[in-house]
Structure formats: structure tokens, C-alpha cells
A = this chain, B = another copy of it.
Amino acid sequence: MAELVEDLCGDGILISPGRASRPYDFRSTPDERLARCPFCPGHEAQTPPEVFAVREGGGADSPGWQLRVVPNLYPAIPRESTSDEAFGVHEVIVETPGHTARMGDLSHEELFLVLSAWRGRFREARRDERLKYGLIFKNQGPNAGASLEHPHSQFIALPFVPERIRARARALQGGEYRLQVQRELESLDHLVATSRRLAAVSPRASRFSYELWVLPKISESRFEECDDGLLEEAAALLGRLLQALDGMLNRPDYHLLVHTAPFGEDRYWWHFELFPRLNRVAGFEWATGVFINQVAPREATHSWRQALAV
């Protein structure tokens, strides 16, 4: 049973022994991975019953879907619990029926479905007032911590707001950090791409090389309040960025995060974070929380722009 403890810096730790038994794809051959993939059409019985799907045909938990959301069979935190603290939501968004696609290979329509499903997961979780915070995250490839190959992202909702997120919310409630974001949105040293209402920036304070934020030019708190028009725009910009990333660094493993306001907070600035997984994070970072980034964000801006221009 999962347990939540706090370390001496105030950060939460989820003790989740059940996670250890989950399958791991990347020690087997491509054929083996495909044959036993729990996310491929026809294998629906290998997952818990779906909680959401976009279908052209077929009944629940059968083929015919374009996108499918299922509870994680090995959740970091269980759905129900006798205690208030050690429960939550941990879901998998299977982004496409195709086993080998990368998110950057998806069509605009497919990507819109994914973003729309993400929005739906936040909206659904907010209805449970015991839940205080939600995060969409995608780990692309084994170096980014993925255990399965089939394209998927994950949603976790927690009955508490993590300390790191509380610190962000505090920073985004004060004026100073908002001003810094605003400066980056207006700086040609940091601005990577724009669309009508959105921009992609390479932030001055990037923990990771080539880290990118995609955010509304005019601050909005909640990703889940995007209308379909803004979601279309986000899908278009994200698609371009993922293709640029795949070209720039030869289809690297990467992380994609969707940061939205904690459910009880009114002031935030929702954004995507996208960064390839290049260098190993090592003892210095684990000890100090200080990250060493080998690519100056201004250089990263330049590389991103070149990759987008191809």
C-alpha cells in the first residue's frame, strides 16, 4: 500500500512498492514488445477498463478506438484508500493505436485528440474535491523513464499540492516572476516560436539543455479552461516543436509536462515544458537541487529556431 512521507526539505516521497512489478519493454526485442504490448488494439483486456476513449467504432474495451484512457495497472498512488493522504489518480493516455509512432509523428487531428484528452483528465479530477493537484507528463523512451514503448502519456492527481508546485504558485502570484516570464516572451534571446495566442520560449532559468516552455502570451491560470480554438493552436505549435526536436537531436528521448494551477489556486500561468533527456543527472544535483546546464539558453534558442526553419 502506498504511503506518503516528507523529507527534511519538505518534499513529498511516495513509497509505492507495487510499482516494482510493472513490465519493462526495453530489454526485449521489437517483435516481443509488439506481441505483448498492453496498449495495442486487440489487447484491451490487459489493461483495467477504460475511463475514456475516442472511438470510430467498437464497444468499450474493444478495438476501434483512436485514443484510450485507462487507470494505470501499477499506480504510484492507489485510487481508493482508507487514509486521506495515500490515494489519488494515476491514468495512462494511450495516444494512438499505432505502436511505433512518436508524438511528433502524429497528425494535427490526432494531436488535438491527445490535448483534448489531457484537458478532460484535469476537468474530471477537479470534480473530486479531495484532489488538490494534477499533472500530465510524458516520458518518451527508456532514458526518460518510460517502461513501455507504445506512445502514451500519464496523468497523476494528488490529494496534496507538492512543495515544488506550491513554490511555483507563490512565485507566479508575486509580480517579479511574472515579469521575468514576460521579459522572456518579449526577448529575441529567448523567444523560439509564436502563434496567435501562444509562444514557445527557451527560459533563462532552464534546468535542462534545450528546455522549452510553451505558454499563453497573456497569462492564463488553467490549461483545462482552454477552449477548442486554443487547443487547436496548442496542438499545431506543439506538433511543430516536436518535429523540430526530432530533427535537431535525432529523435531523442524527452519529457513533456503540462503545468496547470493547483485546483484551489486562482493565479498561475499554465504551460507545457518540453526537454530532451541528454545528460544524466548526478550526485551534485541530487544533493543540492542545483542543476548544471551545459547549453546556454540563448544558444538553445538559436538551435530551436534553426530546427524550426528546416
Contacts and interface: CB of A to CB of B under 8 A. Distances in A.
Contacts of A3: 296
Interface residues on A, range: 35 or more
Per assembly, the copies of the chain total 2
A256 interface: yes
Contacts of A142: 280
B288 A135 contact: yes
A281 B273 CA distance: 16
A259 interface: yes
B8 A165 contact: no
A131 to B, nearest CB: 14
Contacts of A256: 283
A164 interface: yes
Interface in A126-144: 135, 137-139, 142-144
Contacts of A309: none
Interface stretch (A9-17, A27-35, A115-123): A9-17
Interface stretch (A94-102, A187-195, A200-208, A231-239): A200-208
Nearest to A174: B8
Residue in A154, A171, A296 whose Cβ sees the most chain B Cβ within 10 Å? A296
A186 interface: no
Given A10-B167, A13-B293, 20 more contacts: A8-B177, A9-B167, A9-B171, A11-B207, A11-B290, A15-B206, A17-B294, A17-B296, A19-B292, A135-B284, A139-B282, A139-B283, A143-B280, A145-B283, A158-B290, A163-B289, A164-B288, A164-B290, A165-B289, A255-B283
